[in-house]
Amino acid sequence: MIVIGITGGIGTGKTTAAKYLIDKGFALIDADQIGRDLTAEGEPILSEIEEKFGCVSHDGQKGNGLVLDRKAMADLIFRDSDVKEEFDQLMHREIIAVIDREIADIKKTDARGILLDAPLLFEANINDRCDVVILITADLDERIDRVSLRDDADEEDIRDRISNQMSDEEKARYADFIIDNSGEPEDMFVQLDDIMDYLGLE
């Protein structure tokens, strides 16, 4: 069963691309959602996060009672690149373990293929789990407009988030296919169909 990685920066349209292919019978593994689930209230990894970084409270009612202070963790990561690297290593280790289990489980089903939606696909070295990688790109101004509407965020904050991600130019060096999603979703869908046809999956 083919594993297709979908990656790209914020506001490029990865989720829209994934939903389109899910409707065509592909199963989704969402790396961001896995990360959120792993750091939800009471989850075991919070004990390790507390030991290494602090940034948790004991106000929860589930599991170990720990709750991640996401703002404090984000502020700490933003101020200290060494902390960011250590935190990323911890999270990537746990996320990859879940991804491997989910890939194995989905391969037992009759899904048409597996979509691995991971903004940090290359940064976390998850691309080696994929047979093919599709990079979704879009014009910067279009990305800012999309994220502003979606998250009610200001332009400066969005630009900071984009600047802290691997550039599209660098990601393009490792991707098998690149889709420009600067226009309407229908234009992206045509490009996705062309890729699926090329892979013999249409």
Q: CATH number for the domain including 158?
A: 3.40.50.300
Can you give the pLDDT at residue 196?
Answer: 95
**pLDDT of 146-172, one tens digit each?**
888 887 777 888 887 777 778 889 999
Residue 177 belongs to some domain of the structure: yes
Number of domains within the chain: 1
Residue 107 belongs to some domain of the structure: no
Residue 105 belongs to some domain of the structure: no
Residue 10 belongs to some domain of the structure: yes
Four-residue CA torsion sign, 166, 122, 143, 139: positive
- pLDDT mean over 117-141: 93
Question: CA of 43: how far to CAs of 13, 46, 68, 86, 93, in Å?
Answer: 30, 6, 10, 19, 15
Q: What range defines the domain where residue 120 resides?
A: 3-25+112-198
Residue 146 belongs to some domain of the structure: yes
